[in-house]
Chains A and B, each alone.
Chain A
Amino acid sequence: MTLFKQIAIILSLFLIIILSTVLVLNFNSANQGVQKRLFEDAKNTASSLSLSLGSANGDISMMSTMINANFDSGNYQFISLTDIDGAVLFRRDGEVQELDVPQWFIKLLDIKAPIASANVSAGWSPIGLLNVQSDVSYAYSQLYSILKNLLISFALLALFGLATLNLLLHTILKPLKEVQRQAEAVARNEFIIQEKIPHTKEFKDVVLGMNTMVRKVKAMFDKGNEELKRQKELEYIDPTTKLRNRKYLIDKLPEYLKIDADSKGGINIMIAFSGVIEANEKIGHREVDKLFSNMATVFKQHSASFKNSIVARMNGTEFSVLLPDCSDEAALQIAQDIRDAVQTIIVELELDTDVTFISLGLYQYNYTQNIGQLLSLSDNALAQAKFSDTNIHLDHAENATEVMGKDAWRGIINKAIERSGFNFLSYKAVNAKTKKDAHNALSISMSVDGQTYYFGQFMAPANQAGLGTDIYRKVLDMIFTQPDMKLKSSTCSLRLPFDFLESPETYEQMSTLFRNHAKKLPFKLIIEMPDKLVSQNSENVKLYKHLLQEHNIELAIFEFIGESTDYQYLQDLHPTYIKAEKDYFLGQSEQGLGALKLITDALGIDLIATGVMDAQTLKELQAKDIHIIQGRATEML
């Protein structure tokens, strides 16, 4: 229960008790007042009547008349006259009256009107005692009316009091709300500095303390961020040409060589510079470095029109230009243009073009190949190019024999989409240190007409047929509308690709799905988004983050290779975890990984290595303090 509620309940109870006490006291006072009035009236009657009776000189009939006259003119329970021995000489009793008062009230109060007495004399001698008791019916009506009025006024007072109390508490505890907000943010590893320092000393101390703590954690994050940026430059950037290096290319290639890659293939141009020793001798190292920089500019210019192209310096004299979705013809044209442009630079430097030249080996790759194949086959093409007259050579990857044609796949996939023919498979991500499951990573299989197709089988043809986004749209819909109850109470992650997330309809679909179904989802869902998208920290990504947060769905990152120029997006978007290929972690220097861990620890973000297949790799990862893994090695845990 919140402090506000506790204080509100206590104060409300206190207020109600006070008001009730005042009400009871008020009513008692009124009750006593009315009873006193009854007695006073009786006393006045007794006094005046006893004086009058004195004039009757002991004549009972006269005195009875006087008593009757008095009794009839007022409200009395009884009037009696007793002689000096206590014997009743005359008595008049009032009739029982119908009261307009509830029976419970009469029982509760049980008013007994006091009896007033006065001596009655005849001359010097006392002749008796006059007793008078007032009628209580009037008192009951009066008191019941008082009680009703009191209850109404106190109810109004209580309402007003409670409303004022609520307002006051809100005002007084407003700084506490801010403190609570900050504390919650700290618990979520978010850095909020409270600018408005409360005046209340206790709150002020807490806020100042938390601000100091938050500043320290923020400083830690900033330090990690700076360090990671510096490490990134050292690890991924060639200092001379400012191009990416071989490591970057190798870390980045898995994104291009996968079943659900955005591009199904393209051209990798491997470029070798010959005659560097002669060039060095003739124009010196510095000029040669300038030459390389100029060459880098040429490469970049010619690859700029290709989305997701990579230009990397592989070693001192070799470069690689990866052009996704590039045709043979276009690649050959680019290669010629590059060759000619570089030759012009060489000529301008008055170098011998027979000795100093570039060779361009073009290799047409596809997504099914692995990194080793791509690089070695690109090298082969380069070797061929070196012996070619034009210094350009193009090799093709062997095309896998497709069992089914494009149209057949399109038919099957469309059927699956129509019939919701997708099933969820889950693979565990496990914390090797605690031996506990971190979450279930969801994948899909497709069943159509009794035949089951695995993700690796159908996703590439689906992408080629332009149905990838449709499949994800269907899968996302199914996960919310037909959730797999086997996963109840677990945590599941769903990986969504870049293109799908970039589509504006996706956001709309997610909004509708979340709004209608997120609350009923039987498991906790984490949506994984590619680092390529998340690191843009764009408005689109922020919208996704806000949408997910609103529906208690977490955001995570996959395909992380730490290529961003700023890691502020990790702080802003605060993903639950970051998934990267095992090779990324294993290839990281101690400083680079240390800086990344400084950031993720400061933000409470887990690091997860994917594709961990054996115990040896797991051991190496654990040595680097990476404990959560995904892959075949989880089966050994």
Chain B
Amino acid sequence: MIIRNLILVLLLLFSSVNASPYVDKKTLKRIAKKYKMFAKKRFYFLQVMLDGVKNGTDMQKLQAVNQFYNEVRYVPDIKVYGKKDYWATPYQFLGKDKGDCEDYVIAKYFALIYLGMSSKKLFFTYVHSTKFKAPHMVLTYFKTPRSEPLILDNNNRKIFPASKRKDLIPIYNFNGDSLYRASKTGAGTGKKLKKQQSHKKWDQLKANIRKRVI
């Protein structure tokens, strides 16, 4: 029994060592240089968390990712970036260890995608918070396209089905990747569409991620 567990641990270790990390070494080095040692550690623990649930169920992944990122402090964009609204890259969000609701959603989304979750199941949902009487954004998970979504929120740290979140009124669902797929397969599209999707913020965010903006 002990030998079997040891082999399992070794296999896990081996697989996690060989899989490409969520944040590449070069970016991590830059993050360490810019945000100092603690930031590097945060990314280390992120990787440990991700490795831990890599082979888990969707629910395990959602729980782990939601819990990990909800530890980050909520600070409005104007205080962090000097802008009223800014969609931070996951590197900036965890590097600074602060951000607003969109930043949580973005970080959770890309972490889940890294864990192999289908982008078709995840939506950025613009909601109205009746509790705070303010616009808000949450990440919604759809097990099937027609099933009730689960809400990953930074205010309410637990994951609840949408029906349990009476404090939130859904306004608009958005999935950048599905828009991209749509425009790519859409009838009569031009060759220049590769660079043009249907959401400005999303486009900018993807560009920043490609450029590894930290």
Contact = CB atoms under 8 A, between A and B. Distances in A.
Contacts of B89: none
Interface string B161-179: 0100000001111110011
A394 B196 CA distance: 125
Nearest to B163: A124
A5 B67 CA distance: 79
Nearest to A131: B186
A118 B171 contact: no
B190 A119 contact: no
A85 B145 contact: yes
Given A84-B145, A126-B123, A54 B175 contact: no
Interface in A7-36: 35
Contact of A119 (B146, B178, B186): B178
Interface string A80-98: 0010110000000000000
B188 A133 contact: yes
B179 A119 contact: yes
A54 B198 contact: no
B189 interface: yes
B183 A117 contact: yes
A54 B193 CA distance: 26
B210 interface: no
Interface in A584-616: none
A113 B179 contact: no
Interface hub of A35, A47, A126 (most chain B Cβ within 10 A): A126
Interface in B138-190: 140, 142, 145-146, 148-149, 162, 170-175, 178-179, 182-183, 186-190
Contact of B183 (A50, A77, A78, A116): A116
B173 A121 contact: yes
Interface string B92-105: 00000000000000
A116 B186 CA distance: 9
A124 B140 contact: yes
Given A51-B172, A119-B175, A131-B182, A124 B148 contact: yes
B31 to A, nearest CB: 32
By size class, the interface of chain B is 20 to 34
A356 B130 CA distance: 159
Nearest to B144: A84
B192 interface: yes
Interface in B84-126: 123, 125
Contact of A115 (B149, B189, B199): B189
Contacts of B183: 114-117, 131
Given A35-B190, A112-B188, A124-B125, A117 B196 contact: no
Given A43-B198, A112-B190, A114-B196, A129 B172 contact: no
A116 B198 contact: yes
Given A114-B189, A114-B192, A129-B178, A124 B149 contact: yes
Nearest to B147: A125
Nearest to A113: B190
Given A115-B186, A124-B140, A124-B148, A46 B198 contact: yes
Contacts of A46: 198
A118 B179 contact: yes
B123 A119 contact: yes
Max chain B CB contacts within 10 Å: which of A47, A54, A113, A119? Answer: A119
Contacts of B197: 117
Contacts of A124: 125, 140, 148-149, 162, 170, 173
Contact of B190 (A54, A84, A114, A126): A114
Most buried by A among B123, B186, B197: B186
Given A112-B190, A123-B170, A124-B148, A117 B179 contact: yes
Nearest to A110: B190
A337 to B, nearest CB: 117
A39 interface: yes
B126 to A, nearest CB: 9
Contacts of A133: 186, 188
Contacts of B199: 118
B123 to A, nearest CB: 6
A35 B148 CA distance: 39
A133 to B, nearest CB: 6
A99 to B, nearest CB: 17
Contacts of B142: 125-126
Nearest to B170: A124
B188 A121 contact: no
A115 B188 contact: yes
A295 B171 CA distance: 140
Contact of B198 (A111, A118, A121): A118
Contacts of B170: 121, 123-124
Nearest to B140: A124
Contact of B172 (A78, A112, A121): A121
Contacts of A77: 188
B138 to A, nearest CB: 10
Contacts of A78: 187-188
Interface in B56-96: none
A313 B29 CA distance: 120
A118 B149 CA distance: 19
Contacts of B179: 117-119, 129
B90 to A, nearest CB: 22
Contacts of B171: 51, 54
Closest 8 A/B residue pairs (Cβ) = A112-B190, A115-B186, A121-B173, A117-B182, A124-B162, A84-B145, A126-B173, A117-B198
22 contacts: A35-B192, A54-B172, A78-B188, A85-B145, A112-B188, A114-B189, A114-B196, A115-B182, A115-B186, A116-B183, A117-B186, A117-B197, A118-B198, A119-B174, A121-B172, A123-B162, A124-B125, A124-B148, A124-B173, A125-B146, A126-B175, A131-B186
Given A114-B183, A125-B146, 13 more contacts: A85-B145, A114-B196, A117-B186, A117-B197, A117-B198, A119-B173, A119-B174, A121-B170, A121-B172, A121-B173, A124-B140, A124-B162, A125-B148
